[in-house]
Amino acid sequence: MIKILSYNINGIRAALKKNLLNWIKDYDPDIVCFQEIKANEDQFDKSLFSDLGYYNYWFSAQKKGYSGVGIITKIKPENVTYGTGIDYMDFEGRNLRVDFKKFSVMSLYLPSGTNINRLNFKFQYMDDFKTYINNLKSKVPNLIVGGDFNICHKAIDIHDPIRNAKVSGFLPEERDWIDNFIKDGFVDSFRIFNNSPHNYSWWSYRANSRNNNKGWRIDYLLAVEKLKKNITQSYILNDVVHSDHCPIGLNLKM
């Protein structure tokens, strides 16, 4: 059984100070996709992960203290791909993929639409990323995309769908995009086993949102459809608190 997690860590250096390593040691995942590491490789000690038995790979943004993704894995990959080859995407360090013999895992950090300029950037990224993935699937067939998509798919994925209907992350255009992305050959691993509301992966730091469970489910592990039969469990680890996000996971039998 292979235990795969995705975790927007909201700063790898901050999370390390909150005992991230002890948690990883205790939980013992095989693969973790990190997003928003907010650091270059020379700004934290990568050997800490090596000492736990993980190969580790990092793809940082050109802008210091911003964005960035990483993957740690106990299984040695056959190939590692940094970025997408699309310059404006890779400038922000948002995609990293590791290929194993029977499957591949990508860590994705999709932009947020915090203002009109970033929203337009996000839409362009979404369109170009979908094209990129559609092409990639023919070459990398057993793909799992884990990451922070910054989009809630359905009303049950957000605590207040009425008031947030015009907020980036729950706009109709964003929801349509992720709906089409999934329908174009993926499964939302969490929803294979759990169709209940009030299951979230991100909470604002404001208004005691986490304690009141006023959250958003914007983190996903999307697997290509033919891997659905291999997924034995999926889960949201909402009691893990190194970040304003929590880890999500799936167990894969290959």
Please list the residues that pair with 106 across neighbouring strands.
97, 145
Q: CB-hemisphere CA count at 13 Å for 244?
A: 18
What is residue 84's predicted lDDT score, i.e. its pLDDT?
A: 98
What is residue 150's predicted lDDT score, i.e. its pLDDT?
A: 98
What is residue 180's predicted lDDT score, i.e. its pLDDT?
A: 98
What is residue 175's predicted lDDT score, i.e. its pLDDT?
A: 98
Just list the catalytic residues.
148
List pLDDT tens digits, range 191-227: 999 999 999 999 999 989 999 999 999 999 999 999 9
Give the chain as a 3 state SS string. CEEEEEEECCCHHHHHHCCHHHHHHHHCCCEEEEECCCCCHHHCCCHHHHCCCCEEEEECCCCCCCCCEEEEECCCCCEEEECCCCHHHHCCCCEEEEECCCCEEEEEECCCCCCHHHHHHHHHHHHHHHHHHHHHHHHCCCEEEEEECCCCCCHHHECCCCCCCCCCCCCHHHHHHHHHHHHCCEEEHHHHHCCCCCCCCEECCCCCCCCCCCEECCEEEEEEHHHHHHEEEEEECCCCCCCCECCEEEEECC
Close Cβ partners of 85 (under 8 Å, ≥ 6 residues apart): none
What is residue 164's predicted lDDT score, i.e. its pLDDT?
A: 95
Those residues of the chain that have pLDDT short of 70 are none
What is residue 79's predicted lDDT score, i.e. its pLDDT?
A: 98
Any idea where the domains of the chain sit in the sequence? 2-252
Q: What pTM did the predictor assign?
A: 0.97
Q: What is the CATH number of domain 2-252?
A: 3.60.10.10
> Contact, 253 vs 217, CB < 8 A?
no
